[in-house]
Amino acid sequence: MTDESWEIQMKIIMLGAPGAGKGTQAKMIAEKYSIPHISTGDIFRANISQGTELGMEAKKFMDQGLLVPDELTVKILLDRVAKEDCKNGYVLDGFPRTIPQAEVLDKALTELGDKVDYAINVDVPDESIITRMSGRRACVKCGATYHVKYNAPKAEDVCDACGEGLVLRDDDHPETVTKRLNVYHDQTQPLIEYYSKKDILKAVDGTVDMKDVFGAIVAILGE
């Protein structure tokens, strides 16, 4: 056995409604534990801005607040986690979003003698989601996310990280957010029970200040 096999492995899934704060927390986790942050939404948006075939296909669903079909999503995710930088773990943000996606991931990991270590549910009630989403501002260039009130950029509508202009995502307008919340309850929420049965579900209150949400997560994952 080489020394490498003793390295700490951390494979984390972020669960929660759209706008619950999964991305915000996943970025902080990635930084603290030195593992990659993998967001299927970011991968789709990068493909849309590059005008790839995958992007064009995904956009049809995203614009309507619907999920991108499992076949397409699963392939992208499995390719991504097979990359070298994922060997010590990763934090998945926005995947899985359906039971079949979770099953494919479990099967792929089982074949490698591996498993998901934590499924962290960031819990925020529907009432708070619409307000949060209408204030979210995103950088299409680097993927950074802000909030006009809770996490404002230094200069209005300019990304602190890369200087690009910030936008309100097309799918963050209230009509689409309501649709995405329904899709979440129908297709994604069942994952809470799925991971609870596997004994790896951890819930945190997502309504408190983002630093306190992170504190609760660190208490679970360890310093």
Residues designated as active site: 22, 97, 136, 169, 180
Question: Which contiguous run of DSSP H or E holds residue 177?
Answer: helix 174-183
Q: How far is the CB of 9 from ligand ADP (least distance, A)?
A: 22
Output the six-digit token pair for 171. 């799918």
Helices and strands (H and E) in the chain: how many:
9, 8
For Zn ion, the binding residues (CB under 5 A) are 139, 141-142, 144, 159, 161-162, 164
Q: Which does 147 bind (CB under 5 to 8 A by kind): ligand ADP, Zn ion, none?
A: ligand ADP
Q: Which of 13, 28, 35, 40 binds ligand ADP (CB under 6 A)?
A: 40
Q: How far is the CB of 197 from ligand ADP (least distance, A)?
A: 20
Q: Is the bond preceding 190 in cis, omega lying within 30 degrees of 0? A: no
**β-strand pairing of 10-15 with 89-93:** parallel
Q: Which amino acid is at 36?
A: P
- Count interface residues toward ligand ADP (CB under 6 A): 37
* CA neighbor of 144 nearest in space, from 56, 15, 58, 37: 37
Chain residues in the site for ligand ADP (CB under 6 A) = 16, 18-24, 39-41, 44, 61-62, 66-68, 73, 94-97, 101, 132, 135-136, 145-147, 150-151, 171, 180, 206, 209-210, 213
